[in-house]
Structure 1
Amino acid sequence: MTTATEATLTQTAHAFFEACEAGKGWDACSPYCTLNASFSAQAEPLLDLKTLAQYADWMKGMTGLMPDARYDLKAFATDAERNTVVAYAVFHATHTGEGGPVPPTGRSTSTDYVYVMQFEGGKIAHMTKIWNAGYAMRELGWA
């Protein structure tokens, strides 16, 4: 049976996930996060991003480069004991927008990724993104 805490964590994480993946940026994502929410990833394009605000705005930029960006949510799980929610999805997009590391390539990617969202006080305090960036960059013609 789902507890109120689990339900709250799940609802907050899901609302954040949808806003972030839609490229709405930090303004839309911030209500679900602590003021100084941190971010980490062991993926080359994201190494310099240290805050969740930076990541949310990076995703906003990515949706500008790839206006057809969408995701296929595969799993969403809440671990209330550890105040953590995990989302696994596949990101699909084609590089047709201007800007970015190279001119539009017209190439597409379908890339797996995982968000691990850790909560404090009912809001996301830290998120780790697990993603094989090198594979996606090669598919898009960026590497």
Structure 2
Amino acid sequence: MPSMTDTAKAFFDACETGKGWEVCRAYCRPDATFSAQAEPLTDVHMLQQYAEWMRGMLIVLPDGSYHVKSFAADNERNNVCVYAVFSASHTGPGGPVPPTGRKTDTDYVYVMEFDGGKIRHMTKIWHAGWAMRELGWAG
């Protein structure tokens, strides 16, 4: 069985590169939940929904990429935290407004909670408003 850190790394990369639930499901419980205190994600409560949301975002932000700043496993609490910066420009179709060409470099953290070697819940910590303003999606 892969380690918790190996699973977290594989899930993180699949999710952040827009592979969607088709690929991400291998690392998660089928009923894995999701939470975030971020306006664009208020109706997203399942990790499957979030993986598909990210897949869609990489259509709108086709040059999207990430840079991991910190990766930590807490074996006592069965979770992994990843702090990264997502960089992208709104040049693709879709989104709340026509393509703006504007760029964001937005900090965020994933906290992935594990059960039985798979992700059972993920919390995203992200200042969405900042990213939306940088992209020209909010005032």
Which TM-score band applies after superposition, normalised by the shorter structure? Answer: over 0.9
Pairing partner for 1:95 from 90, 96, 111: 90
Correspondence list, 1:35-54, <5 A: 35-54=30-49
**CA distance in structure 2 between the aligned counterparts of 1:26 and 1:33, rounded to whole angstroms:** 10
> Superposition RMSD on alpha carbons, in Å?
1.0
Counting matched residue pairs gives: 138
Q: Which digits, 9 at most, give the CA deviation of each residue in 1:99-119, with x for residues without a partner?
A: 111100000000000000000
- The DSSP-based 3-state class of the residue aligned with 2:14 is helix
Counterparts in 2 of 1:22-101, with a 5 A limit? 22-101=17-96
Letter of the 2:46 counterpart? T
Specify which of 5, 8, 33 is matched with residue 13 of structure 1.
8
Distance 1:47 1:120 in 2: 25
Shift of 1:127: 0.1
State the partner residue of 1:135. Answer: 130
What are the Cα deviations for residues 60-80 of structure 1, in whole angstroms up to 9, with x where unaligned? 000000110000100110001
- Relative to the length of structure 1, the TM-score reads 0.95
TM superposition outliers: structure 1 runs of 4+ over 2 Å: none
- Indicate yes or no: 2:115 matched with 1:115: no
TM-score (ref. length: structure 2): 0.98
**Per residue, is there more helix in 1 or in 2?**
1
3-state DSSP class of the match of 2:54? helix
Deviation string 1:55-100 (CA, Å, 9 cap, x unpaired) is 0000000000011000010011000110000000000000000111
Q: Which runs of 5+ in 2 are unaligned?
A: none
CA-CA distance at 1:48 after TM superposition = 0.5
